[in-house]
Amino acid sequence: MARKRGMQYIPYDYEAAYNKAMEDMHEWFIENLFQHRKKVIYALKEITAGDQFEIEIYPQFRSMDEVPPEGRTIKKDNNKAQKNLNDKNARKYVERLINENFSDRDIWMTLTYDDEHLPPDGDVDAAIKNVQKYIRRINYQRKKRGLPNAKYVYVTAYNPDAEIRWHHHIVMDGALDMETVESCWKQSSRNEVRRLQTDENGLSGMANYIVEEKNRVPSEKRWNSSQGLRDPRIKVVHSKRPAAGGSYKKIGSFVDKMVKDRDSIPETLKKWYPDMDFTNAAVYYNDFNCMFYIHARMRKRRSTGEKTNKTDKTGIEKSRFI
């Protein structure tokens, strides 16, 4: 019966609906929000992608009239056909897809063009055909070596207004040696191929870098992936135990404390997920209905002595041991 009731809640874009950050808000303002809200059901979405773990806490509604106007669009999670990186949900999906399917054993390359092979301005189809030919050459070389077809995610970057030349970012499994991987690209000799390096955010820094907004052109379908990649795992619940062995409580019963005292968020999450290390969290609100959206990131705890990497936003730097 509970599952049937859950189906009655309407999907909406809760990130767009709650887009005002609670950082440095005065205590009086927060108390005022509490006084003007209605009682609603809060959901907790758990997203697992490789070692990365995210939670999203948001209110659910039975009518679109109750949703803030900014969020009154249908939220499409993990829509594989959605290849337009202008949509933030597509960018999030690409980030999670990379975290779920790739690791330090794999590679990240940036493939460029010399003047002789540069695609015409705005001709994204011509650029994508070049990537597809490249993937075919890669798979030919892999077949010669008895390897299966490559696993990959690629993003095509170009924006004439920002003076960004055509280039392609590709994340690929590392079964084929990097010299052969680079030699299969025929459009330029000035490319960059390197091993992926994870940090406390997994591969999210690199993934966000390759889909960043400055590289986008409206309505262009510019990312794609190989078949057979694992989807991030998503679970939605409406209650949690405050600690091991305790009784379950509705998610909404935890929200007030998380909003009033943001320092309590890592403490609460540690009790919910004792095998995870907290990374960061943020609280957002909307004065349309005075409700909240909470997003937090965690990471699967590493064992002592396991190798990790300290990296910049592009995922390149030195390794260390913890």
**Fold topology of 96-231:** Alpha-Beta Plaits (3.30.70)
Q: Where are the domains of the chain?
A: 2-78+233-300, 96-231
**Phi-psi region at 311: left, alpha or beta (left = phi > 0; alpha = psi -120 to 50):** beta
Are the CB atoms for 198 and 93 separated by under 8 Å? Answer: no
The answer for residues whose C-beta is within 8 angstroms of residue 112's C-beta and 6 or more apart is: 165, 166, 167, 187, 188, 190, 191
Cα distances (Å, whole numbers) of residue 308 to 51, 150, 201, 303, 317: 12, 25, 11, 10, 11
In this prediction, residue 162 carries a pLDDT of: 65
pTM above 0.85, yes or no: no
In this prediction, residue 302 carries a pLDDT of: 72
pLDDT along the chain (322 residues), means of 10: 58 90 69 72 96 96 91 67 66 91 94 92 88 97 97 88 83 96 93 88 86 64 89 95 84 91 92 94 89 93 58 36 25
